[in-house]
Amino acid sequence: ITVTMVRGAMTGAIHGTKLELDELAQMDDDVDALHGEIVTYLGQLSQQTLSDKESSRLHDYLLIANYFESVGDLVSVNVVPTGHARRHAKLVVSPETEDHLQAIHHKVCWALELAVQALTDEDATLASQVADAKAAVNGLVEEAEKHLSRRLTATAPNRLVAYRTESELMEYLKRVYYFAKRIARLAALNGKEVHHDESSEPNTNAVQADAPAPS
């Protein structure tokens, strides 16, 4: 459910109608309900006699559940309101800006989906690819930031409002990638090395700081 929310987040924020944005936000109710069930189940397991390794894995699974829940909250509490603000201000995101945002969104979705696959398959090799994507994500973010800075001089109406809205969407995507890395890190701790002939996405060599931790 969380991955589906993230897939629809950018198009919803840029083009979504009120109904589409409301439906996106409502999906978080299912995420919250599932999170509650998982936490309850893990709590019951914690009452049993567990080995140190089992206790550690249980703790990791609880953290992972929390990360997924946080991503759902990020979409419903941050991305969706930004989409509504875009509607109310009648902002139109330029095709060039949308291309930059969608490029980041595509890479972040790939990272989150790969983190889920690494977790499901207990594949530490796949998990490492999520962390290795840091340079690619940061490179795309840097390009987008430069583009948005140049757009500040444009004569389009509501330029400052548009800049703030577009910058917020970019920050939200960086946070999603942060959570994807956290999930992948725990998947790597509990997974095994598996040889893959090809990575599903190429790496790039851009270097920049980590995406910020959620507030």
Residue pLDDT, tens place only, 102-155: 999 999 999 999 999 999 998 899 999 999 999 999 999 999 999 999 888 777
Q: 87: which 2 tokens?
A: 């509607």
> String of b and e for 14-28 (b: at least 16 CB within 10 Å)?
bebeeeebeebbebb
- Residue ranges and CATH numbers for the domains of the chain are 2-190 (1.20.58.220)
What distance in Å separates the CA atoms of residue 108 and residue 115, rounded to the nearest whole number?
10
Task: Flag whether pLDDT at 194 surpasses 60.
Answer: no
Burial class (CB in 10 A: 0-12, 13-18, 19+), 201: middle
Q: What value does the mean pLDDT take over residues 5-13?
A: 94
Report the chain's mean pLDDT, rounded to a whole number. Answer: 86
pTM (whole model) above 0.85 = no
**Mean pLDDT computed over 2-28:** 94
Q: Residue 198's pLDDT band (boundaries 50, 70, 90)? A: very low
User: Which residue in this structure is represented by tokens 């989906």?
Assistant: 113
Cβ count near 215 (within 10 Å): 6
Q: CB count, 10 Å around CB of 112?
A: 24
